[in-house]
Amino acid sequence: MVRRELGEGRWDKVLMRRMVNLSVADNYDEAKEEWLATGNVWWRGNGEIPDWVSNSQLGQGKCLCGHTVVYHFEILNTENGIRECVGSDHINSYLIMRQIAQEKGQSIETITEEQIQEWINVRVGSMKAEAWWKENGESFEMMFNKIKEIDVRYNTRNQYKEYHYDKDIREYVYPKQLRKRSEGEFGTPYYKMASIVWRWNHPDNPKNQQRTRGYPNDRLMQDLAIYFIKSEPLLEKMNKEKERRKAKILKVKQLIEEEKMREQERANERRKNGAIKNLRTLMYSASNAVWDNESNLKQQHQRTILEKRRIKLEEEKKIADDEMLSSMNKTFEDMCEYYGMPAFDETFAGNEWEREFLVSIKYLLNDQKELSPRQLQTARRIFENDPPSDAQVKYLRDLGYEGKIPSKRFASKKIKEIKGER
């Protein structure tokens, strides 16, 4: 590519002469090799004047060539340390190419027009953004922080073709999408602005202004000012909707707990009715025996029979419970895995009460019923905190295990490991 060189124009000639006067070399071809652009840029909207502008030969508002400028670019003589400033017309030269070559570690011969323009755009853009934030940043942040939540809630379009079920509040709702383009004419009652958050800094918008410009454009600022003025009723509306949702979520949680309690009560009632039915059968049999037998001997004989029947029923129930505890099936094992408990059997019961409890929850798990928090707490105490049962200890010792057995869960796991190895 052909290098950008100063030409034969009036200002070009003046600049070349003054650069030579400030250089070690006495001709331009050698003198230009001493200078490079530092990357520092300033304009009067960017705060206090830097020393390299105020101490330059021609001062603020002037290029080294004498031409009036808005943007001041710092250049440095690398041989004698002199700093000067030139305007944007004269920074587009060998000065910037040398700086790019140093930054990127490439030959000056390979520097492109696009690289030079990008170098200028980045520095001018950064300078403008810095100046804008100094002047407007505080008010922008205050307004944006106030409206950003209501913006993403109300500067939207309803997707009426689709809706989904919100399980937290047990309602069907229409999803909303941020309005990415404005509708209507600005300043009219029918104007609908595009989402301010979407345009400014939404992470899903690859062209958001925070990323591409560094500061908001005029239209965004106009919309922000309008929305800020209208924000109070919208904030009140949003807060009421939040309170309603919060109350609805709480109500749904209460309903879920009530449903669980009713289901537990129905299960208890079914179990109770079964016991009452058996008791009534026994009582009816006993009553009939009393009325049918007139003699004390016959009555005593009938009571003996009923007692034996009762004992037999209890034995049959115990056998059934033992079979329930000792039997395994996929449904039961899956439910145990779901609740994070071992697939327990009769060896986990340390006493009669624990045995009855394990039988009751195994019936529930086989029926795929949900356990209450209290039942889960009791089960975890038995499995994890209670010491192993005598049956588990004896079985492990018979298997040859001599180590410590801290809990029922540990005993169960160790039994499975040893049996699996064999």
The pLDDT of residue 1 is: 36
Percent of the chain scoring above 90 in pLDDT: 18
Report pLDDT digits (tens) over 341-364: 888 887 777 788 888 888 898 888
The structural domain count of the chain equals 4
Does residue 329 register a pLDDT over 70? yes
- Cα torsion through 331, 337, 343, 344, rounded to 10: -110
Query: By the 8 A CB rule, do 352 and 391 touch?
Result: no
Report pLDDT digits (tens) over 38-61: 888 887 766 788 999 999 999 998
Integer CA distances (angstroms), 219 to 2, 19, 141, 208, 372, in order: 41, 43, 16, 13, 58
The pLDDT of residue 2 is: 37
Q: Taking residues 140-163, what's their average pLDDT?
A: 85
Same domain? 16 vs 76: yes
Same domain? 380 vs 417: yes
370 DSSP assignment: P
Q: Taking residues 117-144, what's their average pLDDT?
A: 78
What SS3 class is residue 173? strand
Residues whose CB is less than 8 angstroms from the CB of residue 83 and which lie 6 or more positions away in sequence, other chains included = 38, 52, 55, 56, 74, 75, 76, 77
Which of 272, 301, 321 is a domain's end point?
321
Report pLDDT digits (tens) over 225-234: 999 999 999 9
Residue listed under structure tokens 């690398």: 78
Residue 177 resides in a domain: yes
Q: Taking residues 368-384, what's their average pLDDT?
A: 86
Whole-prediction pTM: 0.45
Same domain? 198 vs 223: yes
Structure-token pair, residue 36: 């490079």
The pLDDT of residue 225 is: 92
Alpha carbons within 13 angstroms on the beta-carbon side of residue 322 total: 7
CA pair distance 256, 365, nearest whole angstrom: 20
What SS3 class is residue 293? coil
Residue 167 resides in a domain: yes
Same domain? 29 vs 100: yes
Residue 174 resides in a domain: yes
CA pair distance 342, 337, nearest whole angstrom: 7
Helices 330-339 and 352-366, packing angle to 10 deg: 110
Return the bridge partners of 36, or none: 76
The residue among 235, 73, 243, 86 whose CA lies nearest residue 151 is: 235
Q: Taking residues 21-31, what's their average pLDDT?
A: 89
Residue 309 resides in a domain: yes
Same domain? 371 vs 392: yes
Residues whose CB is less than 8 angstroms from the CB of residue 121 and which lie 6 or more positions away in sequence, other chains included = none
User: In which domain, by residue range, is 295 found?
Assistant: 239-321
Report pLDDT digits (tens) over 54-94: 999 999 989 999 989 888 888 899 899 999 998 877 776 66
Residue 117 resides in a domain: no
Same domain? 219 vs 248: no
Same domain? 200 vs 263: no
Structure-token pair, residue 20: 């030579």
Which of 301, 321, 341 is a domain's end point?
321
Same domain? 190 vs 271: no
